[in-house]
Structure 1
């Protein structure tokens, strides 16, 4: 018995994090637990076909987040938005602060953002991980610098950067047959997260001057 336990511990220690039978068996059990075999249809009944299940989730989240355009609800016009912001008299940045905020991204900024990427995060649809960007940072930084500056100048983001893989995690204690009983997580590509990180890093020092002191969330030092 003791020998069997030592052998099991040895196998778990040496093979637990490697691509082999032990890891495959663990992943298989986890996959069976999270696999969605059927969901309740919004029109009644249940659907079991994988394609219909995906369509049902897409319809549910599309309705939940109001992704569709409702012709009965008028869209705000740019002129109305500008008028509202002018009348609100919100805090504004100085001319020098605006110039610094809109300055082109430098390779040093992007290199620092790549180095700060956390380890072990799941990649987006393109399959490129944080480790990939860090491993080839010297080769990728010039290309990313040109891309990010083009996006900031034109306001146009390549469609492939905006793709995401949506993972649904079952909520504990609730039957996994309703779309509402799953929590969605969007896995984004690293390039779009890098661009967001660059914008956040630039605006972070200015937030205390723009946001009221009563607001403490997401403001450095509060």
Structure 2
């Protein structure tokens, strides 16, 4: 029996209604020989019960219902099956054997229509061509967003089966089907395999998976897929979540594209000279950068506007041009305008999909610490923080001694060179040698900002260096860091399988660079 797949979305709106709550519109089971619509909402051969559940027709045979209940109550594997058994299960003489069942759904909240296809793939390679043909026919019949899930009984890569080392023609055919139908093979979190044979010889593979169309992912946003523990079956259940990737609070991030706007440096200078704060040089610099963030946010909205609203306006204009072309035709200028709008929308969609893909890959849904698995978001955060606090906290007061050891000594000139004040030239040189587009720290400013606007911020930055040289202290906020966990291997779950890196603030990064060059 194929592994079960649950689809879940975070509750939103009134009555905590999920965006994945749908009403069935039509169900289709393709025949091997010809296409056949099994039932629709408008026909009498299907009943839609309260809550949107589909149940067999009233006239279904009692024998088929008993066998169907048996399949749901326990895992049953038949040695063989035939058309008579299939018709008795469905309670209809008009159906025949097929690999899949597809249902056209409409979202209760937004009216979004999509096709959900459950399938069970054949074990023999010579039958798989019929499976790909059948699924392609479903895509042709309903040219809309789709969601395919089930036991495909085939893997895509050798690493998805224990002991497999080479590709097979069946694997290539599977990947060709996915690419030809523009489907997305959702990454699997939590495990590498979905099916296990506990008896000897032991076997395990990833034959259960979920495939979705690009427009399905675009509509539901953050989509992830993870493995749940198996209890009875030899297959692991799969949980697909939409909107389940927590983003947290959106921090400020300086956009390097702003530096290309004409008059940007002059605008920064005007704002910078208008700030007035009292305190240590590092405190003044931290407060000025904080005030600059707010001015940049306001200016960005005024200069570039609400990007989401602009996109809706452009798409409306594009629809108007398409309608005008159907009725009257378009001029060359209008055709060029429509082409630019479509290319821009395609680029935007591409980068959104890329960002969503990275977000799914980077999201830590569960963590294992000392053999205990934590899945709750707050528990994951607290356990990671506690682990690294314990790791970097000293428990003893022992210190190594160097009594009686001889070390080479530096000369007087070298000692004076180490203790001299920071010069403007060495700070400027260190700044210009740094990468301008590296990921920023908590302050959100890239080094490209300081490089481009050095004439504006130089006095305040050099004051921080002079104050640090004299008192060896600076504002605590300048030393804040983002701790990022980089997995050392695929499907990392143990906290020790991650490598921590620090994203430090821009001023602290510059200070460290200057000290390293002394």
Is residue 15–residue 23 contact of structure 1 (8 Å, CA) maintained in 2? no
Structure 1 residue 187: Cα displacement: 0.6
| Counterpart Cα distance in 1 of 2:362 and 2:508 | 28
Which stretch shows the higher mean deviation, 104-113 or 87-96?
87-96
| Counterpart Cα distance in 2 of 1:179 and 1:33 | 16
Q: Name the SS for the 1:186 alignment partner.
A: strand
1:195 and 2:511 aligned:
yes
1:56-205 aligned within 5 A = 56-64=383-391, 67-70=392-395, 73-74=396-397, 76=399, 84=402, 87-173=404-490, 175-202=491-518
**Closer, same or farther in 2 for the Cα pair 1:139/1:28, shift >3 Å?**
same
Q: Name the SS for the 1:24 alignment partner.
A: helix
Q: Name the SS for the 2:465 alignment partner.
A: helix
| Counterpart Cα distance in 1 of 2:489 and 2:478 | 32
Is residue 478–residue 505 contact of structure 2 (8 Å, CA) maintained in 1? yes
Is residue 104–residue 149 contact of structure 1 (8 Å, CA) maintained in 2? yes
Return 5+ residue gaps in structure 1 as ranges. Answer: 1-9, 203-222
Match of 1:220 in 2: none
What is the TM-score with the length of structure 1 in the denominator? 0.70
| Counterpart Cα distance in 2 of 1:50 and 1:103 | 49
Is residue 110–residue 141 contact of structure 1 (8 Å, CA) maintained in 2? no
Q: Name the SS for the 2:486 alignment partner.
A: strand
1:4-23 aligned within 5 A = 20-23=348-351
Superposed CA RMSD: 2.6
Higher relative CO (CA 8 A, sep ≥ 6), structure 1 or 2? 1
Match of 1:40 in 2: 368
| Counterpart Cα distance in 1 of 2:416 and 2:372 | 58
Match of 2:357 in 1: 29
Match of 2:83 in 1: none
| Counterpart Cα distance in 2 of 1:168 and 1:152 | 33
| Counterpart Cα distance in 1 of 2:497 and 2:350 | 31
Q: Name the SS for the 1:121 alignment partner.
A: coil
4+ residue stretches of structure 1 with deviation over 6 A? none
| Counterpart Cα distance in 2 of 1:41 and 1:94 | 50
Q: Decide which structure has greater strand share.
A: 2
Number of positions where the alignment pairs a residue of Structure 1 with one of Structure 2: 177
Is residue 123–residue 187 contact of structure 1 (8 Å, CA) maintained in 2? yes
| Counterpart Cα distance in 2 of 1:139 and 1:91 | 44
Structure 1 residue 31: Cα displacement: 1.1
Structure 1 residue 158: Cα displacement: 2.4
Structure 1 residue 40: Cα displacement: 2.1
| Counterpart Cα distance in 2 of 1:126 and 1:26 | 25
Return 5+ residue gaps in structure 2 as ranges. Answer: 1-338
What is the TM-score with the length of structure 2 in the denominator? 0.32
Is residue 107–residue 142 contact of structure 1 (8 Å, CA) maintained in 2? no
**Closer, same or farther in 2 for the Cα pair 1:130/1:91, shift >3 Å?**
same
